[in-house]
Chains A and B, each alone.
Chain A
Amino acid sequence: MRRFLSLFMQDLVVVSRNALMWVVVGALVVIIMVVLFLIPADYDLEDTYYFYDASKTGYLEEEARRDGLEDEFILGSLEEIEEAVQADPGSIGIYFSDSGERPQITILHYGTISDQNLNLIAAALEEPLRPYYDLETGDGYRVEYLRPFSAPVPQNQNAVPPLLAFEVIVLGFLMAAVLLFQEKADGVNRAYRVTPGGTSPYILAKGAVFSLIGLFYGLLMIMPTVGVSLNYPALILALILGCFFYTCLGLVVAAFFNNISEWLFVGIALLMVNMTPIISYGWPSFSPAWITYIPSYPIIFGLREILFPTGRDLTSLYIYLAAAAILSYLLCHLVVHFKLMREGR
């Protein structure tokens, strides 16, 4: 215990004197400002649609205006639709006419859209227009919510779980590497090896330091942006276990490199791969199996559930994080023992 505490205090002091900590403090302030004042509460990430209703009845335009669509998206000709889509290649143009036997929709777009998605667009346009044509609205089903339909989370607050996952929790991945390379540059590992210290206190001390820093960082980020009525036990557990896990991973990766300039490019690449679940967070329909295996995937959704509860059981998250922390510690122990606690042949 004494060894652990000594190493813990030492690492805490060394980290606190690192320029990176000041950057982290600055980043925290910037993040809070951005979330509170720059990200709008109701930003829409969905596709942009431009409409031209060339029908005699004008039902589509009527329905679009009733839905609150702004004038800039309701255009006056096919050419205008084409121009709008060309200027904004991510958008979709809808040209509606009823000159034939049945109403016709032409969907203008860039790239390829699958038949399924085209049918989906058509179905979405059909549904509100059915009553206008006295067609059955297809009420041969009922809707059920497994949990009460939860109120939408403001988009600016919705940004907090990813910020926690990719800025706070992975801080240990970066900082553990920085600390390790600092130690290599100072050569202090050699001095440590001739003490009773051992591998476990070395890892646990760093894990504890970055878990503590991550916890404070996370709480300081959440309270001004989301509020103070939080599920603190769940949040603290998630932050601590998550930070510990990434700290161990950071040590594992960094142990294989001699200095930061070697580590940097691989480290950045790994951090970017780790960030890919943000795609699923923003577009939940995209969740291929491989993305669900990335550790930050359950973490980011777990954090969202903790901050914006919908009644989902979080036991699986806790088990996942605990298992991840234990396994990463064991792997870290193996790697650190053979790569750092020994010298050459």
Chain B
Amino acid sequence: MKAILNLLRQDLATALRDNIVLYMIVSPLLLALLVRLFLPSVEATGLTIALSGQVGDDLTAALEDYAVVEIFDTDEEVVARVEQNDAVPGVILEEGEVVLLFEGNEPEAIIEAGKAVLTAVTAPERLFEYEARSIGESSSLFREILILSLIMLALLLGGVASGFNIIDEKDTRAVSALAVTPLGLHRYIIARTLGAVIVASLVTTGTALILSGTAINYLLLTIAIAASTLIIAALTLTVGGFANNQVSAIAVIKVLMPIYLALPIVSLFVPERWQLIFYPLPNYWQFQMLRSIFFGPQITGSFWMALLLTLLLSWALLLIMLRMTRGRLMPAGGG
């Protein structure tokens, strides 16, 4: 234990000197803050219509019931606005007739929406009465993807940071000095993993606080982070074991990120009957654990089942990684 704690203290001293800790913690938190700030506006996005000032106040007021209206002085300005990259239809008056303008490359949904709105505002009477009922907190697919991506990224960063420590020691041959102490390979790996989990916990908790405030169960989140320890260890071994220097570490991370982050997100778009493709992946179940914490177990089933599968599969993954990185972490003989 003493040797493990000593190595952790050393890592902290090095990291603080390098500003790495600062970048490591601040960057994801800043990202989380940005997401928190702009996510509501993304989810509230609706139709925007560019309007010529000549169409009249009545039509303008009617359109404002359906869309965000941007008013321009001339028809040419409306045309220029419609031609911009985003999908904004325009409304002008041409010889007394209302003209709905499209560029021609808008998604069909925007075109249908534009037509529906003009039909509604130019019709003499409404057909429906309607009411809207919200049955829970906001949970769009988009929100899920963004929030869970950031949380998974925060967990990944812990493994990456620790992996870099291993690489640094290999690069400078400092690991040879460690190999001739009583530390041993297993305690070395434990120390590196503990360091990774500490970083991951800090960044994940901070990210969760920013994104979800007090709306989630932090006890479950702590359990989820603890259950992710073996995955984090596997990530640490992958980065630290397969890369011999910082430059090749980037190559390893470039392979790792899509597998770790993108595959679970892709699973959100895959029909139920094909989900079993993802079942062998421990990060898939880690993702389901986090989904049930942030978006409710009704989506995913039991948190505990996902936790159990995370533990079992990540244990298997760790064993594989230990075998594959044998001899690549410490000079042979480190027991």
Contact = CB atoms under 8 A, between A and B. Distances in A.
B247 A178 contact: yes
B129 interface: yes
B278 interface: no
Given A104-B129, A109-B135, A260 B247 contact: yes
Contacts of B157: 265
B120 A123 contact: yes
B28 A143 contact: no
A262 interface: yes
A90 B85 contact: no
Interface stretch (A2-10, A128-136, A197-205, A211-219): A128-136
Interface in B67-111: 67-68, 79, 82-88, 91, 97-110
A164 to B, nearest CB: 16
Contacts of B136: 86, 89, 110-111
B127 A129 contact: yes
A112 B40 CA distance: 10
A117 B135 contact: no
B112 interface: yes
Nearest to A264: B160
Interface string B120-153: 1111111111111111111111101000000001
B135 to A, nearest CB: 6
A344 interface: no
A118 B22 CA distance: 44
Contacts of A118: 130, 132
A231 interface: no
B251 A20 contact: yes
A301 interface: yes
A116 B68 contact: yes
A147 B249 CA distance: 48
Given A115-B65, A146-B82, A123 B135 contact: no
Given A138-B122, A144-B101, A117 B138 contact: no
Contacts of B104: 145-150, 310-311
A100 B107 CA distance: 36
Contacts of B298: 86-87
A142 B299 contact: no
Contact of A284 (B83, B87, B248): B87
Interface residues of A, number: 94
Contacts of A266: 23, 27
Interface of B: 18-20, 23-24, 26-28, 30-31, 34, 38, 41-48, 64-68, 79, 82-88, 91, 97-110, 112-113, 115-142, 144, 153, 157, 160-161, 164, 168, 245-251, 253-255, 258, 269, 295-296, 298-299
Given A117-B46, A285-B45, 18 more contacts: A19-B247, A20-B247, A110-B134, A111-B43, A111-B140, A117-B44, A133-B127, A138-B122, A138-B124, A139-B119, A141-B118, A174-B250, A262-B23, A280-B86, A283-B142, A298-B85, A312-B103, A312-B105
Interface of A: 18-20, 22-23, 26-27, 30, 43, 46, 82, 85-87, 89-90, 100, 102-120, 122-127, 129-130, 133, 135-150, 152, 174, 178, 181-182, 185, 258-262, 264-266, 268-269, 272-273, 279-280, 283-288, 292, 297-298, 301, 310-312
5 contacts: A27-B254, A123-B119, A138-B118, A178-B247, A260-B250
